[in-house]
Amino acid sequence: MATVSTKVYEHHKKADGTYNVKIRVYHKEEKKFIDTPHFLSLKQLAKVKGKKEFNIKDPFVLDIVDKKLRDYRKTISELEDKLDDPKNGAIIYPGPILDGKLVIETAENAYKNGRQPNIPLIIGSNSAEVPAGFVNSQSKEQLFSKFEPHNREAMDVYDPEGNRTLPELLTMVNTDKVWAEPARLTARAFSRKGAGTYSYLFDYVQTALQQQFVHGAPHASEIPYVFNTISSRDGTDLTEKDRKVASMMNTYWANFAKTGNPNSRGLPNWEKFNGKKDNLLEIRRDGTAVSVPDPKKKRLDVIEKVTKKLK
Q: Which residue would you say has higher pLDDT here, 100 or 160?
A: 160
pLDDT for 147? 95
Predicted confidence (pLDDT) per residue in 216-248, tens digit: 999 999 999 999 998 766 567 899 999 999 999
Q: Is 230 helix (H, G, I), strand (E, B) or coil?
A: helix
Tell if the pTM clears 0.75, that is, is over it.
no
Q: Is the pLDDT of residue 272 over 70?
A: yes
- How many CB atoms neighbour CB 263 within 10 A? 17
| Residue of higher predicted confidence among 93 and 211 | 211
| pLDDT of amino acid 309 | 76
pLDDT at 98: 77
What is the pLDDT at residue 85? 52
Could you tell me which residues come within 8 angstroms of residue 124 by beta carbon, excluding any fewer than 6 positions away? 183, 199, 200, 201, 202, 280, 281
Q: In this predicted structure, what is the pLDDT of residue 254?
A: 98
pLDDT for 241: 96
Phi, psi dihedral angles at 104 (to 5 degrees): -105, -10
Tens-place pLDDT, residues 72-113: 888 877 665 555 454 544 445 556 777 778 888 888 889 989
- Range scoring the smallest mean pLDDT among 45-49, 75-79, 156-160, 269-273: 75-79
Q: What is the per-residue pLDDT for 50?
A: 86
pLDDT at 234: 58
> Distances from the Cα of 62 to the Cαs of 3, 20, 22, 45, 48, in angstroms?
18, 13, 12, 10, 16
Task: Give pLDDT tens digits for 173-182.
Answer: 999 999 999 9
Structural domains in the chain? 3-84 (no CATH), 107-306 (3.40.50.1820)
Cα-based distances in Å from 107 to 95, 200, 240, 311: 12, 20, 40, 20
Mean pLDDT to the nearest integer, 196-219:
95
